[in-house]
Structure 1
Amino acid sequence: MAHTRRPTGDVSSVKGGRAAGQAFPMRRTRRGKLRPVRKRGWNYPRAGYGPIRRWVPSWRIVLASVFLFLAMGVGAVGYLYVTIDIPQPGDFALARTTTVYYSDGKTKMGTFAQYEREPIKLSDLPDTVPHAVVASEDSSFYTNSGISPRGIARAVVNNLRGGHRQGASTITQQYVERYYLGTTRGYLGKLKEALLAIKIDQQQSKNEILENYLNTIYFGRGAYGIEMAAQKYFGIHAQQLNLSQSAMLSAIIPSPSGWDPAVNPEKAKERWTRVLNRMVGEGYISKQEAESAAFPQTIPPGTSSAFSGTNGYLLAAVDSELRATKKFTADDLNQNGLKIVTTIDPKMQKASVDAVAGLPKDRPANNYVGLVSVDPRTGEIYAMYGGADYKARERNAVTQDRAQAGSTFKPFTLLAALDSGKSLSERLDSSTPKVFSGNKVQNFDGKDRGKIDLITATKYSVNTAYVQLNEDVGPDKTKKAAITAGIPENTPGLDSTLTNVLGSASPRPIDMAKAYSVFANQGVSTTPHIVRSVQNKNGETVYTAETEGKRVFESELMSQMNYALQSVTSSDGTGATAGKLDRPVAGKTGTSSGPWSAWFIGYTPQMVTVVDMYQVGSKGEEEVLTPFGKYTYGIGGGSFPAEIWLRYMEVATDGMKVENFPKPKKRVTPTGDDETETPAKKPSQAPTTRGRPTSSSPGVSPTPTERTPSEPTRTPTPTPTRTPEPTTPPAVVPSASPPPEPSKDATQQTQ
């Protein structure tokens, strides 16, 4: 058989040949042209072509490459779809508002929330809400597979043309982004978002997706979810939304901050009209319904705040106390949907606010009052007035601010004296003025009562007698007694100088509440606290406050203290105003020199209530209290503080069992001697009127006097804070001016 030989060509005769003398197999085309024969298999670079053309791919290679890349892309997407797992919902999706309750566990005090959200079921919403959102955000929601190919194509074209960037996200994609992924950026993130949307669309119902979407979408004004949006924009619950309100909330979803009617009413109304028209187009409402709808009126933004008003101080105290336990973080409190039950009694809290609100209208704007009421047996805080509005002044008058203690510190010297073996019948010289270690001390009213016992010295808050007692006992023991009772050792001004008995220290009201609770609780110390318990979102109790006390003083010692301090609230004591409460009351007034501050601390066996008043200058410096109201000669602990105390206690103790303080074994008799209780003879408690002790010391003037001496050259020391911090110890030099003229009103005389 004859064989035909394939023609060959010399490389020199082929344009672009590799080298002279090298031959390539050639073939002739139908037109008679010779072409190099392609290599078997992968013909690249192309055989028989010149140095440039041989690298230009043929149409076969181009087509094969396109198919290959498409196949790889489809394969990769398919692989990602199969292997990608639906992640756990993100922190944002799980974030729930923490609710804080009063002591009854039912009355709501306020909330904590990083994301203000209150989930609501789709079935509880009016149809206008889902219809408006679907019409506005994703009209194909009920028919698409989680993504919209047409929307994606439109967004790609728009983005390539340099138009305003579009994401083409369906409701399902937005739900995936917010519920599972957080904010997604870039094409890879969007691809993952789209794949998850498809997968979730197959695993969850449309109603489930829409419900979660409505509970997580941001509507502006700090509101996440339709329930909070309804509250923030209209002051109602989402269940009450009508057509116009539903359309408006749906309209601002793409740009809630920019399209808020309070920010851009024209744009908001334009978008609102668009939503109504789309609802008509989708058949959700009729054209007549759309035309008859009126643009809804919204409430001003920021009119409601969890931390506004007096309750803001309570909520801030709750937050601070729980975080101080190291068992709760800020995220725990703001995102975990906790139920916090406080110790605050709603009736008593209102009474505290009303008591301060009852002050005269001419009260200076920079005059501040702190009030805290505590159960001495458990440490639970019944009520706390930290200020008028937390948003206006984020300083709690009870837990943060300080004021010089004045004569409310004298009981610590009395405590140290009794603990060292002295008795209530100890007699001291009350002459005035007197010099102690170079310090000149005088009684406020200038009265010399001669030799008086400790009850009389306490009843009238006699300065010279108490400084003498402090000198006898030792001021270091006064300091130690105060610390043991509960005054923090680092309290500014707390020292071991002789005049510490006159209140040079500047404690917080909460510190004094803790210390005086030891007296009321017969020597057992408890810690004041505002949180009773915390439950997680599953209803499990995860925190309970400690209420167990610790004994720091003997009960008999406290019985003697309480016996002496009841004399303060007798009809002619410095705290006579508080004595009008129809039950046994012990307490102490306090007015620092100046006066820079005024206190009244009164208590029953079940309740210790501390009230202080102070004044702050424009630079945060301590100011002398400006007289106002009926106290034109000056303000003391027995004036406004005692009146506030009484107004509060009359309500707070209403219905509370009347309890007597335990009787001490040793008391002062009318002759000024100690009387020891024995089985054969049980002397009665000091004579009382309506449950109040009266004077037990003979030959004592009924004129009440209580005030630490002032110093004419002393000026307040500015501090970097807005609250009065301690300055120098109270003066012990008599004032250059005579004491205020006594008023016919008994309380005016009790400074």
Structure 2
Amino acid sequence: MDTEKSPDHDETPAETGNAAKRPRRFRKLVIILAVLASVLGIGAATIGYYISTVPVPETLTLPEATVVYYSDGTTEMARLGDQNRTVIDTTTLPPYVAWAVMAAEDRSFETNPGVDLGDLVRGAVGGADEDGAATITMQYARMAADLSDGSRPDVAVMAWKLDDQYTKAEIMGFYLNTVYFGRGAYGIEAAAHAYFKKPATSLSLGEAMVLAAVIKSPGDSAFDPSVNRRAAQDRWAYIRDGLTHAMKKLSADEAAALTYPETFVKWSPNMPSSTSRLDRPTGLVVQQALSELRQLPEFRDKPADYLRNGGLKIVTTIDKEAESLAIALADETANRSHLAGKPKGLRAALVAVEPGTGRVLAYFGGHSGTGADYAGWYYDEHGTPTGYGAHPPGATFAIYDVAAALKEGISLKSYWDASRVKAFPRSGRTADSPVRENVAADCQPTCTLLQAARAGLTVPLFGLTEQVGMPKVLDMARAAGVRDMWARSAGGITRVDLRAAPDQAVLAQFGTEVGIGQYPVTVVDQAGAMATFAAGGVRAQTHFVKEVTKAGATVYAEKLPTGATERVLSAAAVADLSHTFQRRLADGQDAAVVNGTWQYADSATDIAHAWTFGYTRRLAVAVWTGNQAQERPLRLADGRRMTADTVAGPIFRDFTVQASKALGLAHEPFGPPAFLGDASAGNAPPPR
């Protein structure tokens, strides 16, 4: 077989240059239009209108699948779009791909004028094919007319115009990128992957013939080899005979040597044709990535469906192994999950961020990307905030209290009132509504800041927040990476944007209760803030997208660091902060670990939210556990009350250890504490 031949080789008279062929074709067009007008009774004005309104390929925007990848840029996470299509340069295809399609659909394609005049005449008296598109050019004209935003022109007139303006190779290229092949695949590239898991440039002749065979009836899979093997093989043989006898593209020996491919992908009409994979846990990663892109200047003014139908390659920051670990440990349906065997309705969320870059390495917000996101929120395609990932952080906010205190020169050795019940009139907590302590500690009733923070004591942390000032605690959380916080308003719970330094209008929505974690925040923000402390106090903006390209050209690339580069906290203060929450993990590495809970309703004993988060020098992780959809007391199956260390703690520890190993992260010990600040700056004298 001569594999160097192509549909536009020199032996085909119709394939001379456009400039040479147009006078001849124009004369032919005038004659045919006259015949058409006579047979069908179309007036000259109508013919002129059709010609002027024909949509040509340059005016069409083909829906083209956008593919989302893991951070390696090669492992596919999801495929988006109304149509699974990847537009390619069809001149790079082996010529026999076009031959196979011609043999199946239009054996005179290389020489006909784009229409079958006899079919048109038969159509005038009711005897033509139902779709009225016998030639490949007419088939493409019909598809293009359906894709056009304008009024639909006569398909025959459009086909003649196409044949007059474009070469046969160009028209075949339009057709191959547009036509439907079944299995949800539009265009030859998507079809090659759907049937053979390879690019179209790698198709063999036999495989190209399998794809050409399905074009005749793709919607019902009548010629899909997995659905109707006999019909598919018969159609394949019909194409082989056309290539050999009618088109003379193959010799008899070459045709005899062809065998029907046996390595096609098995498929059934009962299988979902969608390849989006948004119904998986990683679907929420996709939602977060798309939301992030919609806020960028490069995409902000694009049409609503541009990201999913724009033929983009989106490379996320998500590491495949880390993501798999997060799903295995936090997904309630996974066998390895710490939620396995727990009461129905219990949910977990986990986010891991890389210190120094802000890259989200793992994100688990729920079992399905089409369901609730318990780790964060995102803007959907219509700009609507979507998600369920804001939860009261409770005593975990101690880390921001301590960080703010260290920045203000208060020492970990300072002493604080840790009474079981204490009023704070200045903050509106009078004797009628005092702050109550639900945790017992050996240091009570007077504890150092170090002791109070490690124990998660409510009363001294409230006193610390009042003394430092709620605005400074709030600003520390904001500067570290808490981008949103929810406050109560007349309309219910309202999200407050903290991306800019809070002004008086923002501060007025919060009270000293910020310091004890009353106001909800997201899991992804908590992880991002921990990454700031892990990086020695320097913040990098948390983000999900590394790069976006289209047809090989870069449309967007992350800039590291992507956020503020100013130091949130001095290195010495971070050393004190890390020392406050320091633990030793099972693999021997140092980690700062913060636990916290928030009560259920007004209960003094039941909790509705449990957190564990923290960081090593190389990884920041936040884990939340709570109930689906609405707050309920967290109980085990046997009725025992849950704590932060029941589920969230084991998920945090197992993930941090296993992910550190999977990512090849070196163990770096924390430095010694500096014990900065004034030891006399507390609100209580040292115990006697």
| TM-score, structure 2 as length reference | 0.71
Query: Aligned partners of 1:106, 1:235: CA distance in 2, in Å?
Result: 14
Counterpart secondary structure, 1:383: strand
Which digits, 9 at most, give the CA deviation of each residue in 1:135-183, with x for residues without a partner?
A: 4432432442221111212222217xxx984413410222345468845
The residue type paired with residue 626 of structure 1 is R
Identity within the alignment, %: 26
1:537 to 512, 537, 551: 551
Alignment of structure 1 residues 265-276 onto 2, 5 Å? 276=237
8 Å CA contact retained: 1:343, 1:381? yes
Pair 499,85 (structure 1): closer, same or farther in 2 beyond 3 Å: closer
- Output aligned runs, 1:410-449, within 5 Å: 410-434=398-422, 437=430, 438-445=433-440, 449=444
Cα distance in 1 between the residues matched to 2:615 and 2:657: 12
Kindly indicate whether the alpha-carbon contact (under 8 Å) linking 1:177 and 1:184 is maintained by their aligned counterparts in 2. Answer: no
Equivalent residue, structure 2, for 1:344: 318
Residues 568 and 195 (structure 1 numbering): CA distance in 2 closer, same or farther, change over 3 Å?
Answer: same
Contact 1:385-1:398 within 8 A present in 2 as well: no
| Corresponding position of 1:13 | none
Deviations 1:175-225 (A, max 9, x none): 34546884599895324313224315xx524x5543442221023443211
1:134 aligns with 2:105: no
Say whether 1:383 aligns with 2:362.
Answer: yes
1:193 counterpart = 2:158: yes
3-state SS, counterpart of residue 104 of structure 1: coil
Deviation (angstroms), 1:318: 1.4
Give, in angstroms, the shift of residue 653 of structure 1: 2.5
Secondary structure of the residue that 1:219 maps to in structure 2? coil
Residues 448 and 269 of structure 1: CA distance in aligned 2, closer, same or farther (over 3 Å):
same
Could you tell me which residue of structure 2 aligns to residue 8 of structure 1?
none
Instruction: Give the SS at the match of 2:289.
Output: helix
Q: How far does residue 666 in structure 1 lie from its aligned partner after superposition?
A: 2.9
Q: Does the 8 Å contact 1:227/1:237 carry over to 2?
A: yes
> Is the Cα contact below 8 Å between 2:184 and 2:274 reproduced in 1?
no
Counterpart of 1:385 in structure 2: which amino acid?
Answer: F
Higher-Rg structure is 1
Residues of 2 paired with 1:245 and 1:470: CA distance? 70
Verify the 8 A CA contact 2:409 2:677 in the aligned structure 1.
Answer: no
Determine the structure 1 residue equivalent to 2:658: 651
Query: Which residue in the other structure is 1:368 paired with?
Result: 347
Cα separation, partners in 2 of 1:561 and 1:451, compared to 1, 3 Å: farther
Partner of 2:647 in structure 1? Answer: 640
Instruction: Provide, for residues 436-459 of structure 1, a one-character-per-residue CA deviation record: whole Å limited to 9, x for no partner.
Output: 533251233476634221111111
SS at match of 2:461: helix
Aligned to 2:586: 580
Contact residue 219 and residue 253 of structure 1 kept, 8 A: yes
Paired with 1:230 and 1:633, the residues of 2 have a C-alpha distance of 56
Q: 1:643 and 1:192, CA in 2 relative to 1: closer, same or farther beyond 3 A?
A: same
Q: 2:185 aligns with which of 223, 233, 240?
A: 223
Q: Secondary structure at the match of 1:666?
A: coil
Structure 2, gaps ≥5 residues long: 1-33, 378-386, 425-429, 489-495, 497-508, 600-605
Aligned to 2:448: 453
Residues of 1 paired with 2:367 and 2:458: CA distance? 35
Match of 2:113 in 1: 145
Distance 1:143 1:74, change over 3 A: farther
CA distance in 2: counterparts of 1:474 and 1:425, whole angstroms = 19
Match of 1:491, SS state, is strand
CA distance in 2, matches of 1:387, 1:261: 39
Contact 1:126 1:239 in 2 (8 A): no
> Given residue 417 of structure 1, which amino acid in structure 2 is its aligned partner?
A
Change (3 A) 1:586 1:389: same
CA 1:217–1:376: 2 relative to 1, 3 Å: same
Aligned residue for 1:482, secondary structure, equals helix
Q: Take 2:541 and 2:484, find their aligned partners in 1: how far apart are those partners?
A: 16
Are 1:97 and 1:335, in contact at CA under 8 Å, matched by a contact in 2?
yes
Whether 1:172 aligns to 2:160 is no
Give the aligned residue type for 2:573: Q
Tell me, yes or no, if structure 1 residue 298 matches structure 2 residue 292. Answer: no
Q: 1:296 to 1:555 in 2, by over 3 A?
A: closer
Query: Which amino acid is the alignment partner of residue 455 of structure 2?
Result: Y
Q: Displacement of 1:349 after TM fit?
A: 2.5
Q: In 2, Cα distance between the equivalents of 1:447 and 1:77?
A: 94
How far is the alpha carbon of 1:242 from its aligned partner?
A: 8.7
Given candidates 296, 309, 326, the residue that maps to 1:325 is: 296
Do the aligned partners of 1:234 and 1:298 also contact (CA within 8 Å) in 2? no
Which residue number corresponds to residue 116 of structure 1?
84
Q: Which moved more, 1:586-595 or 1:638-647?
A: 638-647
Deviations 1:117-136 (A, max 9, x none): 23565875695x65664344
TM-score by length of 1: 0.66
Q: For residues 518 and 305 of structure 1, do their structure 2 counterparts lie closer, same or farther at Cα, with a shift above 3 Å needed?
A: closer
Distance in 2 (CA, whole Å) between partners of 1:309 and 1:296 is 22
Alignment deviations for residues 682-720 of structure 1 (CA, whole Å, 9 cap, x no partner): xxxxxxxxxxxxxxxx99xxxxxxxxxxxxxxxxxxxxx
Is the 8 Å Cα contact of residues 533 and 545 (structure 1) preserved in structure 2?
A: no
Q: CA deviation at 1:662?
A: 5.4
Quick check: 1:613 aligned with 2:625?
Answer: yes
Contact 1:101–1:108 under 8 Å retained in 2: yes
Amino acid at match of 1:652: A
Q: Which residue pairs with 1:520 in the alignment?
A: 534
On the 8 A contact 1:355/1:648 being kept in 2, the answer is yes
C-alpha contact 2:609 2:626 (8 A) present in aligned 1: yes
**CA shift for structure 1 position 373:** 1.5
Measure, in 2, the Cα distance between the counterparts of 1:350 and 1:149: 59
Confirm whether residue 311 of structure 1 aligns to residue 282 of structure 2: yes
- Pair 1:604-2:578 in alignment: no
Which aligned pairs between 1:212-251 and structure 2 lie closer than 5 A?
Answer: 212-232=174-194, 250=212
1:595 to 596, 607, 620: 607
CA contact (8 A) 1:566 1:584 kept: no
One-letter code aligned to 1:140: S
SS in 1 for 2:593: strand
Unaligned runs of 5+ in 1: 1-65, 571-577, 675-697, 700-751
1:204 aligns with 2:167: yes
Asked if 2 retains the 8 angstrom alpha-carbon contact of 1:524 and 1:549, the reply is: no
Shift of 1:313: 1.8
Classify 1:317/1:304 alpha carbon distance in 2 versus 1 (closer, same or farther; 3 Å).
Answer: same
Aligned ranges 1:246-257 → 2 under 5 Å = 250=212, 253=215, 256-257=218-219
What residue identity is the alignment partner of 2:185? Answer: A
Q: What's the counterpart of residue 625 of structure 1? A: 634
CA change 1:355–1:146 in 2 (3 A) is same
Taking a change above 3 Å as real, the CA distance of residues 587 and 339 of structure 1, as seen in their structure-2 partners, is same
Q: Distance in 2 between matches of 1:282 and 1:149?
A: 24
RMSD of aligned alpha carbons = 4.5
Residues of 2 paired with 1:521 and 1:394: CA distance?
31
- Residues 586 and 657 in structure 2, CA contact (< 8 A), matched pair in contact too: no
Aligned in 2, Cα 1:297/1:530: closer, same or farther, shift over 3 Å?
closer
Cα distance in 2, alignment partners of residues 538 and 239 from structure 1: 16
In the aligned structure 2, how far is the partner of 1:640 from the partner of 1:153?
75
1:80: how far off? Answer: 9.7
Spell out, residue by residue over 1:593-619, the C-alpha distance to the aligned partner (whole angstroms, 9 max, x if none).
132111111112332211111111xxx
TM-superposition CA deviations, 1:664-690 (whole Å, max 9, x none)? 543599xx899xxxxxxxxxxxxxxxx
CA distance in 2 between counterparts of 1:104 and 1:611 reads 25
